[in-house]
Structure 1
Amino acid sequence: MRARVGNEVGRLWAAYAVSTYGTWLAFGAFPLIAVRVLHAPAFAVSLLEAAGLAVAALVAFPLGPWVAHHAKRPVLVTMDLVRFAALASIPICHLFGLLSYGQLLAVAVVSGAAGIAFTAASGAYLKHLAAGTALLDANGRFEATSWVATAVGPPLGGALVGLLGPVATVAADALSYLLSALGVLRIRGGDVVTPRGTARGADLLTGARSIAGDPVLRRLFANSVLVGGLIVAGMPLLSVLLLGRYRMPVWQYGLAFGVPALGGFLGARLSARLAARFGRYRVLRVAGWLRALFPVGLAFVRPGLAGLLVVIAVEALLITCMGVYNPIHATERLQRAPTGHAAPLLGTWSAAGKIVQAGLTALWGILATVTSPRTAITVAGVLLLATPLLLPTRAQLSAREPAAPPPSPRAGRPTARSVGEARRG
């Protein structure tokens, strides 16, 4: 890793890895706590996800100027510490019998908003540290790490839940953010800042203008938020269906989402090679089409071993395609971001995606209440089949020069000190 992209990106990757493993160790912890500890109904579980995403996105918007006007490394450390404190409050309150649904919601909001700010800062910092062709390789490594953590974390988390309960996995996740903050502090590769008074770099609309000014970014954005929204909307309902109605053991639930992640690791490791052989844009479009085909298979989930195998097969196919798609998508997005505007663009992208996810999650919670969780999951899968139509065309992807944002009367040139993602996500 370090031989290909440098020591400083390697340190950023190490910090990202430890927090990502913590996150996936606690996979599904909030819905599980809501269902098993607080005995919340399906709508309440969906509302927890939806409200947490929506309010977190709204809270994150005022953080945009702060992220843009500050060196990115201190921002990353601060956001890690905020998430550590928020998540650590759950096991502490549970220990004293004070845990409530309202606290879960508050922690979801705080950690979600910090996550959006972290994503914006880490993307800009990674673009600063990984110059030129190293960026695609770095994104591939980050993506591969994410999928390995996805494969290993849920089964281990399921075992930990079986021994100590779901709150224990939240404590482990909190600790991972503390370790991540310590890891980021070790980076010495310089930093990147948009000075105050330049180029409206911290304007809350800067990210939206950057996306709107590039036809490829517009279509990638529309596809990304809709695909992410429909997938996320079905996850709480799948948890309710498997853990509640079908009474699937927690270790099987972790296995169902852990084993398929190995396909994501494989896809991420192959992504750069496929792009080199067949062309980045062809691979982006093919993987983007394929990833929309498989989620509808969740309509055939049944209780018992057959249902477990269906979930594993569907998730494996979906995640393999995502593993190929995501590094190319992340690289294209960063390379097309106007100079000095990567953080606002990524912040807007992340916040808007979470708002869409929140709206669709709430809507799907209502749909599941009126019909059934299985029906709502099926509808999401059918709608996903149309999302590839939003992908950029071959002609658009062949236009290499990213569009600049509309000029501003205060335009200037941002600076970057000494050239040397994380995608959490």
Structure 2
Amino acid sequence: MSTASLSPRREPPSLRSHRGFRTLFLAGVGSKLGANLGAVAFPLVAILALDASEGQASAVAVSTTVAALLLGLPAGPWTDGHSKRAIMIASDVGRAAALVSVPLAWWFEVLTLPHLFAAAFLAGTGRLFFDVAQQSALPSLVGRDGLTSANSAIVSLDAVLHVGGRGLGGFLVQALTAPVALLVEAAGYLWSALLLTKLPADRAANRGKALPFGAALREGGRFVFSHPVLRPLVLAGGLNNLASQTIVVMLPFVVLRDLGLSAAWFGAFLAVGGVGTFLGASLARRLTDRLGQGRLLWATGAFAAPFALAVPTMASPLGFGLATVAWVVVCASFGVDNVVKVSLRQRLTPDRLLGRMNSVFRFVLFGTIPLGAALGGFVGATWSARSALWTGAAIMAVQWLIVFFSRARRSDEFESTEA
């Protein structure tokens, strides 16, 4: 059993009384609030401060997420070979520095699009490494028996900040101008870094026996794709993300053009999805206790399937309202999945492979998002935007079968791996 840990405590009586988790959670508030502010502020800096075109503003937005594809897999071995606390602190400080450079350049009238691309990419890279390190730190911080409660709190926080943080980002851009709004985001990262210094020091789980980088990368991939539980989870999750992005990318055309509704209604549709995710994450622990982990892995997808198929049926304002309710249920299933499946994969992965496992999942789950956008665009251009919605909904309605027909259904029989 590995001796590496951020905290020696196991099975905390309550996460509220667990000092290490409270510190990590509060640091996440600053870090993830900053990430959601940036998702709004970066494209607006391009548009409002640099008079960027639609394509250029879109490229800035892509720059904040492309790190998952370019560096997602290498992030795993790097995380396994270094202190998780140190990686999270460095990620926060690095992002803050990149963001501060933007308003400074703007004030001195030397801000350019390449500068903004670079800052956005560095911010996205910092988020990648922070998230991989945070997920890899949790098992040793709260103990494997505390993972479901810990992930429920973190996923709930993500859902709240996804809605509230982006709304706050729009307000700050209006009140402070887009470049100055990035300073608020930088302050969030520095707050997070300061809190993380209070975590107990940790060391790499595989220090002294690390493999060469390429071999370590291959070992992580083999572990995930040969594991009878992790393999169906990563495949189903990738399909689910592809399907949801296929829907979201074409949804504005249906809502704005076909139904004649305003952009505010489209924004409300996406916002209530965040509420659904929060509700699902909040219920995950109770559903696990009632249904069992193995059954819940596929049951949430099966339950959400007919609701996913209801989304493309919106053909009137009333139909839009019913589709919005259906979308809340679909996103609630995402919230349950995020808690249960992340907790399970953390429990089943040895300490020395946690970073690589998390990076493989992140590479697949985030890598399918641009593929879903491309699929939605192709179907929308070839047939219609509504056809793209049906395509995404159909994929979403059947992806749970991958888990249902796998050994993941009996995941309760697999013992946690702690060595």
TM range (shorter): 0.7 to 0.9
Is 1:274 equivalent to 2:312 in the alignment?
Answer: no
Sequence identity percentage? 24
Could you tell me which amino acid in structure 1 is paired with residue 127 of structure 2? Answer: G
1:188-227 to structure 2, matched below 5 A, reads: 188=200, 190-198=202-210, 203-227=216-240
SS in 2 for 1:205: helix
Question: What's 1:127 paired with?
Answer: 139
**Residue 382 (structure 1) aligned to one of 378, 383, 394:** 394
Larger RCO of the pair (alpha carbons < 8 Å, separation 6+): 1
Q: Which residue of 2 aligns with 1:24?
A: 36
C-alpha change, 1:326 and 1:63, in structure 2 (3 Å) is closer
Counterpart of 2:84 in structure 1 is 72
> Is 2:142 the partner of 1:140?
no
> What are the equivalent positions in structure 2 for 1:78-89 lying under 5 Å apart?
78-89=90-101
**Alpha carbons of 1:328 and 1:134: their partners in 2 closer, same or farther (altered >3 Å)?**
same
Aligned 8 A contact 1:53 1:355 in 2: no
Residue identity matched to 2:139 = K
Aligned residues: 403
Deviation at 1:155, TM superposition (A): 3.4
- What corresponds to 1:420 in structure 2? none
1:303-338: per-residue Cα shift (whole Å, max 9, x none)? 9x7697467434422222222221111111101113
Amino acid in the other structure paired with 1:266: L
Q: Report the CA distance between 1:160 and its aligned residue.
A: 3.4
Task: State the alpha-carbon separation in 1 of the partners of residues 388 and 59 from structure 2.
Answer: 15
Query: Taking structure 1 as reference, are residues 61 and 264 closer, same or farther at Cα in structure 2, changes over 3 Å only?
Result: closer
Structure 2 counterpart of 1:117, from 129, 146, 163: 129
C-alpha spacing 1:156/1:296, structure 2 compared with 1 (3 Å): farther
Query: In structure 2, what is the equivalent of residue 410 of structure 1?
Result: none
Q: Is the 8 A contact 1:144 1:269 kept in 2?
A: yes
Gap runs ≥5 in structure 1: 405-412, 415-425
Letter in 2 for 1:273: R
Whole-Å separation in 2 of the counterparts to 1:93 and 1:300: 48
Asked if 1:351 is matched to 2:360, the reply is no
1:370 deviates by 5.4
Q: Is the 8 A contact 1:298 1:311 kept in 2?
A: yes
Following the alignment from structure 1 to structure 2, what is the Cα–Cα distance between the partners of residues 239 and 34? 22
Q: Confirm or deny: 8 A CA contact 1:292 1:387 kept in the other structure.
A: no
Query: Structure 1 stretch 30-39 or stretch 320-329: which is displaced more?
Result: 30-39
Match of 1:321 in 2: 333
2:336 maps to amino acid: V
If the length of structure 1 is used for normalisation, what is the TM-score? 0.79
The equivalent residue for 1:418 is none
Matched with 1:401 is: 414
Partner of 2:8: none
Which residue in 1 is equivalent to 2:14?
Answer: 4
Change (3 A) 1:119 1:395: same
Distance 1:281 1:157 in 2: 39
Q: Would the aligned equivalents of 2:96 and 2:189 in 1 still touch at CA under 8 Å?
A: yes
In structure 1, the residue matched to 2:302 is 289
Q: CA deviation at 1:374?
A: 5.1
Supply the distance in 2 between the matched residues of 1:366 and 1:97 (Cα, whole angstroms): 40
Shift of 1:274: 1.4
Measure the CA separation in 1 of the matches of 2:105 and 2:252. Answer: 24
Change (3 A) 1:172 1:373: farther
TM-score by length of 2: 0.80
Say whether 1:149 aligns with 2:170.
no
**Residues 332 and 231 of structure 1, relative CA distance in 2, 3 Å threshold:** same
Higher alpha-carbon deviation: 326-335 or 111-120: 111-120
C-alpha change, 1:396 and 1:371, in structure 2 (3 Å) is closer
SS at match of 2:278: helix
User: Is the 2:229–2:406 Cα contact (8 Å) retained in structure 1?
Assistant: no
Pick closer, same or farther for the CA change 1:2–1:133 going to 2, 3 Å.
closer
Q: What is the letter of the counterpart of residue 14 of structure 2? A: R
Structure 1 pair 113/232, CA: closer, same or farther in 2 (3 Å)?
farther
Report if aligned partners of 2:251, 2:389 keep a CA contact under 8 Å in 1.
yes
Give 1 or 2: higher helix fraction: 2
Task: Name the structure 2 match of 1:230.
Answer: 243
Distance between the aligned counterparts of 2:350 and 2:65, measured in 1? 27
Provide Cα deviations, 1:207-257, integer angstroms capped at 9, x if missing partner.
21111221110000001122123323554554687789979456x665443
What is the CA RMSD across the aligned residues, in angstroms? 3.8
CA distance in structure 2 between the partners assigned to 1:18 and 1:403 by the alignment: 31
Per the alignment, do residues 342 and 82 of structure 1 end up closer, same or farther by CA in structure 2, a change over 3 Å counting? same
What is the distance in 1 between the residues matched to 2:58 and 2:294?
36
Residue 342 in 1 paired to residue 342 in 2? no
The more displaced of 235-244 and 286-295 is: 235-244
How far is 1:76 from its partner? 0.8
CA distance in 2, matches of 1:296, 1:265: 22
- Secondary structure (helix, strand or coil) at the match of 1:341 reads helix
The amino acid that maps onto 1:141 is: A
How far apart in 1 are the matches of 2:40 and 2:252?
Answer: 8
